[in-house]
Amino acid sequence: MSKLNKASIILPIVGALFLWIKTYIVYKTGFHIKIENWMQEFILILNPASFLLFIFGLSLFFKTEKVRNGYILFVSFLLSFIIYANVVFYRFFTDFLTLPVLFQTSNFGDLGESASAEINWWDFFFFIDVFLLLMIIKMKPKMVNFQSIKRVNRRAYFLVTAAILFLNLGLSEAERPQLLSRTFDREILVKNIGTYNYHLYDLFLQSKSSAQKAMADGSRLVDVENYVRANYVKPNEKLFGIAKGRNVIVISLESTQSFVINSKVNGQVITPYLNQLIKDSYYFDHFYHQTGQGKTADAEFLIENSLYPLNRGAVFFTHASNKYNSLATKLNENGYYTSGMHANNKSFWNRDIMYKSLGYQKFYSSNSYTITDENSVGWGMKDIPFFQQSVDLMKEMPKPFYAKMITLTNHHPFTLDESDRFIEEYTSNDKTVNRYFTTVRYEDESIKEFMIKLKQAGLYDKSIIIMYGDHYGISENHHLAMGQYLGKEITPFVHADLQKVPFIVHIPGVTDKGRGKIISKVSGQIDVRPTILHLLGIETKKDIQFGEDLFSPDHRNFTIFRDGQFVTDKYVWAANTCYSKNTEEQVDKELCRIYKENTATELNFSDEIIYGDLLRFYGDEKNKD
């Protein structure tokens, strides 16, 4: 083994340079990073440099050539892998990886069709520079053939690296103040400090949250409680307890956005049954999803706890051992048999663990259903057989029961057997959008069948049926085709508007025969818990929750998205811009300021509860007076 007294400074620089160029190409092709001016573009070009020079520069300390070369190759491969994993993740979620998501390894097996739909044969190009580096090392061209490196040169190398880092941070801070203290938006972080530094930062946040929990004490709860008390809205007197003692069936409508309701595609109605049902229900047409990276699971979290999910990772994973005062827990206390029903792997989104923390007495997962090749498509069991078999299970449940059902067929990549297509696909260049309408139509059919089955089983009249869309199905990546369908450009304003999901409360005997109505309050998933409990005649006055009963005359028109955007009856805050709801035009940011502050306060309180696991201190408080 040759001593590295003649160590080269060239090789680490070549390694860093390759990855630098590649990272920038990935920024421009793999992600959709919105660049508003040349300074942002410059920061984007610059931002991988400091980390790459640093990490490759560490090789200058190695004493032998072999170890040094091995280290450089290893770093090159590892970082390439990280950037590639980000690209694959981004293709599906339009977001960057975070550590908690990465450690959800049990999810990876289940991603199945979705993941493979996002991996292409040409992806090996992502690793081409690693091979190039290997060839350079093997061929030992003169250029990398080791000139000696003096300590002073090494120092100079790291000094330049540090200078680049400070330049990067300085420019970023000028461009985006409070960058690191407010992490609502990962794209802004990656855009400014670069994907590698972002991952380091994420690691730091992760350690911080572990420490926060260890250090939290009950006194923080006082502020939270004061805030929640001050925002409590009293129930609607006429509706409080109207569904008392009934079974509660809550259905999560996978990836269902409101724009499909009462709409057509190619002249065909997309949701004929739901359109009908809405006339016999309370239908909220300004109801938004508020999910983060945890998608379906985040929606469940919101509905159960009336707390916000986290802005990174899925709270179902990161804080599954916390104490919660969930909807299910409240219903347990009120004599209900509580269960989750979802014909998928029980470990997906960590549900098997989290459902226990949420207090479900039983989880009917794939093990409880008869699943065959014939009755499955895409991610698993089709919705129609799922509902059919679920009613059979409900017949056996102790009464009254609470069943939270999660549908699956209308999930990306929206595949369907020929025989299940009740309408033609849409015709655009975007196959995902084209298929979406057909799976929504299938889902609609499945709800119709479910209602028929419920009636046959004698359960319908004794139940209250609540449905919510869990999150968007069509992501930003599909704006072109969505624009074509809607016949308008998808501005940030329209994009925010597209986050509306249906929310339907159907109370047989109460809302039947057109006695329901459309309610246009600005609202969100956070409001579901108090709404349901009040309909059942269960008080929530003492509970720590951020939502407001949707039927309350005092319910405010204000809904916060998990990424810090928000909607009121007058304004929409999206893409760092204040829009007027009336004109859809930009207005003075000052008009949004107060809501922006409220948004930050509320999200911070909610985060504090979760990070500090504060509800574990609440039991004693609750029983005090």
Residues serving a catalytic function are 296
Q: Is 543 a residue that touches Mn ion (CB under 5 A)?
A: no
Phi-psi region of 141 (alpha: psi -120 to 50; beta: other; left: phi over 0): beta
Q: Three-state DSSP class for 616?
A: helix
Of Mn ion, ligand GP9, none, which one does residue 344 interact with (CB within 5 to 8 Å by kind)?
ligand GP9
Tally Cβ neighbours within 10 Å of residue 384.
Answer: 20
- Give the containing element (helix H, strand E) for 119: none
* Minimal distance, residue 441 CB to Mn ion, in Å: 18
Contacts with ligand GP9 by CB under 6 A lie at 295-296, 342, 344, 348-349, 406, 408, 411
Phi and psi at 524, nearest 5°, equal -155, 180
Report DSSP letters for 506-548, one per residue: E-TTTTTTTT-EEE---EEGGGHHHHHHHHTT---TTS-----
Report the residue closest to Mn ion, judged by CB: 296
Instruction: With beta carbons less than 8 A apart as the criterion, state whether 1 and 62 touch.
Output: no
Using alpha carbons only, what angle is made at residue 392 by residues 388 and 393, rounded to the nearest 5 degrees? 115
* Minimal distance, residue 189 CB to ligand GP9, in Å: 22
- Of residues 473, 422, 469, the one with CA closest to residue 446: 422
Q: Three-state DSSP class for 440?
A: helix
Q: Is 383 a residue that touches Mn ion (CB under 5 A)?
A: no
Q: Is 470 a residue that touches Mn ion (CB under 5 A)?
A: yes
- Written as six digits, the tokens of 87 are 């690209």
* Minimal distance, residue 117 CB to ligand GP9, in Å: 13
Whole-number Å distance between alpha carbons of 122 and 212: 43
Of 16 and 408, CB closest to ligand GP9: 408
Of ligand GP9, Mn ion, none, which one does residue 176 interact with (CB within 5 to 8 Å by kind)?
none
Of 366 and 577, CB closest to ligand GP9: 366
Q: How many residues bind Mn ion (CB under 5 A)?
A: 4
* Minimal distance, residue 248 CB to Mn ion, in Å: 21
The span of 420-428, 469-477, 529-537, 595-603 binding Mn ion (CB under 5 A) equals: 469-477
* Minimal distance, residue 530 CB to Mn ion, in Å: 23
Of 113 and 621, CB closest to ligand GP9: 113
- Of residues 58, 54, 59, the one with CA closest to residue 4: 59
Report the residue closest to ligand GP9, judged by CB: 295
Among 104, 236, 296, 531, binds Mn ion (CB under 5 A): 296
Of 435 and 521, CB closest to Mn ion: 435
* Minimal distance, residue 118 CB to Mn ion, in Å: 16
Of ligand GP9, Mn ion, none, which one does residue 406 interact with (CB within 5 to 8 Å by kind)?
ligand GP9
Of Mn ion, ligand GP9, none, which one does residue 348 interact with (CB within 5 to 8 Å by kind)?
ligand GP9
The span of 174-182, 295-303, 380-388, 539-547 binding Mn ion (CB under 5 A) equals: 295-303
- Please state the three-class secondary structure of 456-502 as a single string: HCCCHHHEEEEEEECCCCCCHHHHHHHHHHHCCCCCHHHHHHCCECC
The span of 133-141, 393-401, 465-473, 516-524 binding Mn ion (CB under 5 A) equals: 465-473
- Of residues 305, 255, 158, the one with CA closest to residue 470: 255
Of 411 and 534, CB closest to ligand GP9: 411
Binding site for Mn ion (CB under 5 A): 254, 295-296, 470
